[in-house]
Amino acid sequence: MEGETVEGSRGQSRRLPDFLQSVNLKYVKLGYHYLITHLLTLLLIPLMVVILVEAGRTDPNDIRQLWLQLKYNLVSVLVFSAVLVFGSTVYIMKRGQPVYLVDYACYRPPDRLQARFTQFMEHSRLCGNFNESALEFQRKILERSGLGEETYVPDAMHYLPPRPSMAAARAEAEQVMFGAIDKLFRSTGVKPKDVGVLVVNCSLFNPTPSLSAMIVNRYKLRGNIRSFNLGGMGCSAGVIAIDLARDLLQVHRNTYAVVVSTENITQNWYFGNRKSMLIPNCLFRLGGSAVLLSNRNADRHRAKYRLIHIVRTHRGADDKAFRCVYQEQDDNGQIGVSLSKDLMAIAGDALKINITTLAPLVLPISEQLLFFATLVAKKLFNSKCKPYIPDFKLAFEHFCIHAGGRAVIDELEKNLQLQPIHVEASRMTLHRFGNTSSSSIWYELAYIEAKGRVSRGHRVWQIAFGSGFKCNSAVWQALRSVKQSPGGPWEDCIDRYPVEIHDGIPVSRNQELQQ
Q: Taking all residues of the chain, what is their mean pLDDT, rounded to a whole number?
A: 85
pLDDT-above-90 percentage for the chain: 57
Give tens-digit pLDDT for 460-501: 999 999 888 899 999 999 999 999 898 999 999 999 999 998
The whole-number pLDDT of residue 113 equals 97
pLDDT surpasses 90 at 244: yes
Note if 422 is an active site residue. Answer: no
Between residues 453 and 29, which one has the greater pLDDT?
453
**Given the residues 235, 282, 400, 471, the one annotated as active site:** 235
Least confident of 40-49, 146-155, 165-174: 40-49
**Given the residues 264, 268, 354, 435, the one annotated as active site:** 435
b/e per residue 228-249 (b: at least 16 CB within 10 A): bbbeebbbbbbbbbbbbbbebb
**Given the residues 398, 422, 471, 472, the one annotated as active site:** 398
Between residues 366 and 298, which one has the greater pLDDT?
298
**Given the residues 281, 400, 431, 472, the one annotated as active site:** 431
Mean pLDDT of 134-145: 94
Between residues 12 and 41, which one has the greater pLDDT?
41
Between residues 469 and 23, which one has the greater pLDDT?
469
Give tens-digit pLDDT for 292-322: 999 999 999 999 999 999 999 887 667 777 7
**Residue 31: band (very low, low, confident or very high) from pLDDT cuts 50, 70, 90:** low
Alpha helices in 15-111 (DSSP H): 19-22, 25-37, 39-57, 60-72, 74-94
Give tens-digit pLDDT for 202-241: 999 999 999 999 999 999 999 999 999 999 888 999 999 9
Q: Are 270 and 277 contacting, i.e. CB atoms less than 8 angstroms apart? A: yes
The whole-number pLDDT of residue 88 equals 67
The whole-number pLDDT of residue 5 equals 39
Give tens-digit pLDDT for 384-440: 667 677 888 989 999 999 999 998 899 899 888 899 999 999 999 999 999 999 999
The structural domains of the chain, with segments of one domain joined by +, span 100-514
Query: How many other C-beta atoms are found inside a 10 Å radius of the C-beta of residue 110?
Result: 10
Note if 398 is an active site residue. Answer: yes
Note if 435 is an active site residue. Answer: yes
**Given the residues 201, 402, 422, 472, the one annotated as active site:** 402
Name the pTM for this structure.
0.84
**Residue 509: band (very low, low, confident or very high) from pLDDT cuts 50, 70, 90:** low
Mean pLDDT of 197-204: 96
Note if 33 is an active site residue. Answer: no
The whole-number pLDDT of residue 103 equals 98
**Residue 383: band (very low, low, confident or very high) from pLDDT cuts 50, 70, 90:** low
The whole-number pLDDT of residue 4 equals 38
pLDDT surpasses 70 at 362: yes
Mean pLDDT of 347-376: 81
pLDDT surpasses 90 at 513: no
DSSP-derived pairing of the beta strands 398-401 and 459-466:
parallel
The whole-number pLDDT of residue 19 equals 35
Q: Are 314 and 350 contacting, i.e. CB atoms less than 8 angstroms apart? A: yes
The whole-number pLDDT of residue 81 equals 76
**Residue 71: band (very low, low, confident or very high) from pLDDT cuts 50, 70, 90:** low
**Residue 74: band (very low, low, confident or very high) from pLDDT cuts 50, 70, 90:** low
Residue 227 to residue 153: CA distance in whole angstroms: 28
The whole-number pLDDT of residue 1 equals 39
Note if 402 is an active site residue. Answer: yes
- For 100-514, give the CATH class: alpha beta
Between residues 22 and 134, which one has the greater pLDDT?
134
Q: Are 269 and 157 contacting, i.e. CB atoms less than 8 angstroms apart? A: yes
Residue 301 to residue 59: CA distance in whole angstroms: 49
Least confident of 170-179, 237-246, 312-321: 312-321
End-to-end CA distance of the chain: 66
DSSP H or E segment with residue 404: none
Note if 158 is an active site residue. Answer: no
pLDDT surpasses 50 at 21: no
